[in-house]
Amino acid sequence: MIKERLRNFTTKNPLVFIAWKLLFTRKFILEGSTPLSLLGLVLGVACLLVSMAVMSGFEATLKKTMTDVTGHIQVIDKNKSKPFWKDFENELKTIEPKLESTTRFVYIESVLASQGQIVGILLQGIDSDRYKNIINLNQRLVDGVNDISSYTENGVKFPQAMIGKGIARRLNIKVGDKINVVVPISDSVDPSTFKRQAAEFRVSGVLDLGKYEWNERLIITDITSAQKLAAIGDRYTGLIMKLSDDRDVRGAAFRMALKLGPQYLIRDWRDVNENLFDAVEIERVVIFFVILIIVIVAAFNISSTLYVGVVQRNSDIAILKTLGVSKKQVLKIFTLQGLLLGFMGVALGLVLGFFLCQGFMILQNQFELIPGSVYKIDNIVIKIRLVDVFAITLATLIISFFATLAPALRSSRLSVVEGLRYG
């Protein structure tokens, strides 16, 4: 089927047919430097695709991590004069109709003690009856259950908590184990002295929170248990919000900031790691143009190969001109040869790049290719974007076109007498 369509296309387009026949001869395509030049183009395109897929995957993975754990938007009262939170939620819904739901949250710097080991942690309290509609921890669950509500043992209620996988690995904590969390509280009489307040939590689940710092430090529990441990009454840090449409999160945060005023700190998921996202965008452009140099070198290797081909085909070019083929048509024939090689390089490079991306995913699951302590996240989901494929294809074909102009012009200027004499 493909061969038949190709035959029909070349029959209807004689210049393409001639370019195809001159290009795909044993002497030209199988011998000399043509295979190596084409291989360089294929490798350049494959490297471009893999690098863009990794950068896009890094950005997409980081975004999903932020929204899964911190929600779409966080609202924090700087003056800590928070109204009744349900009334505050209703006020926010009047400002932003896309707001679906909210949950209170509080952050408390604490110390975790387990099996004779001590480590500094960040205790996050959220509403146990609302958080599942706001943040997505089901997909982050490594072991246990997604549940932070209190459980009853011998008629006594005990709080539960979910911990990051880094904490579980370092302290050898398993689901069902009990851990002690200690909070230093300043004395009301003498602020320079502190008293310790401790609570025992049962580990209900182990989470892969997607970010290295969170896996190593974060513990999530019910907000009532966190408030009781820290002795802060009903106070909370702010609200975590979920919108029905996450494409306009930044716009929604801006509208809320205008309405609520400077008393409130409004942070969307991107603000949490603004510098990192900006760095990814800059690095994507830089890496694209750096690796594009490989494509440029390969394209001009093809140019030199075509130039040699022109010299080798002096007699063929002379015969074509004798048969009535104009200089412009000869120029098109040899330009088409370069574009055909460019198309081949792009097609084979994209296929090779796709398989390299799959290989990267397999190796990533087997080995720690990305150290989380350096890159913030230790696992990337490769993402091949159509815009990246289009940009790679367009850039490669444009480079291939300009690289073939020199040999094409050389062929069009060849005189019939010179071609027959030195052919």
- For 363-394, how does the pLDDT look when each residue is reduced to its tens digit (9 = 90+)? 887 777 676 666 667 778 888 999 999 999 99
* pLDDT score of 320: 57
- Contacts with 98 (C-beta within 8 Å, 6 or more apart), sequence order: 243, 244, 245, 248, 252
Q: Which residues pair with 160 in a beta bridge?
A: 202
Cα–Cα distance measured from residue 409 to residue 82, given in angstroms and rounded to the nearest whole number: 75
Instruction: Give the DSSP per-residue string, 77-105.
Output: ETT-----HHHHHHHHHHH-TTEEEEEEE
Cβ atoms of 333 and 404 closer than 8 Å? no
The residue type at 360:
F
Cα–Cα distance measured from residue 179 to residue 166, given in angstroms and rounded to the nearest whole number: 15
Cα–Cα distance measured from residue 42 to residue 118, given in angstroms and rounded to the nearest whole number: 53
Give residue for tokens 């989470």. 207
Angle at which helix 405-412 crosses helix 274-312, to 10 degrees, equals: 20
Cα–Cα distance measured from residue 102 to residue 134, given in angstroms and rounded to the nearest whole number: 7
> 320's torsion region: left (phi>0), alpha (psi -120 to 50) or beta?
alpha
Half-sphere exposure of 145 (CA within 13 A, CB side): 8
Give pLDDT tens digits for 265-308.
888 888 877 777 888 888 888 888 888 888 888 887 777 766 66
Cβ atoms of 140 and 149 closer than 8 Å? no
pLDDT tens by residue, the chain, 423 residues: 444 544 554 445 565 555 555 555 555 555 556 777 788 888 989 999 999 998 888 888 888 888 888 889 898 877 665 557 778 888 888 888 888 888 999 999 899 987 778 888 999 999 988 898 888 888 889 999 999 988 877 777 889 999 999 999 989 999 988 899 988 876 665 566 667 888 889 999 999 988 888 899 999 999 999 989 888 888 888 889 999 887 888 888 888 888 888 888 888 888 877 777 888 888 888 888 888 888 888 887 777 766 666 555 555 555 555 655 566 666 676 677 777 778 888 999 999 999 999 988 888 877 776 766 666 677 788 889 999 999 999 988 888 888 777 666 665 555 544 544 544
Q: Which residues pair with 115 in a beta bridge?
A: none
Cα–Cα distance measured from residue 204 to residue 198, given in angstroms and rounded to the nearest whole number: 19
* pLDDT score of 11: 47
Cβ atoms of 203 and 174 closer than 8 Å? yes
Give the residue from 141, 147, 106, 142 showing the smallest Cα distance to 128. Answer: 147
Cα–Cα distance measured from residue 260 to residue 255, given in angstroms and rounded to the nearest whole number: 9
Alpha-carbon separation of residue 317 from 60, 107, 305 (angstroms) = 53, 78, 16
Cα–Cα distance measured from residue 190 to residue 296, given in angstroms and rounded to the nearest whole number: 71
- Which helix H or strand E contains 75, and what residues bound it? strand 73-77
- Contacts with 199 (C-beta within 8 Å, 6 or more apart), sequence order: 159, 180, 181, 225, 228, 229
Cα–Cα distance measured from residue 351 to residue 21, given in angstroms and rounded to the nearest whole number: 25
Give the residue from 68, 75, 65 showing the smallest Cα distance to 252. Answer: 75
Q: Compute the C-alpha angle 265/267/268, nearest 5°.
A: 160
The residue type at 423:
G
- Which helix H or strand E contains 120, and what residues bound it? strand 117-126
Give residue for tokens 């003690």. 113
Enter the DSSP assignment of 247. Answer: G
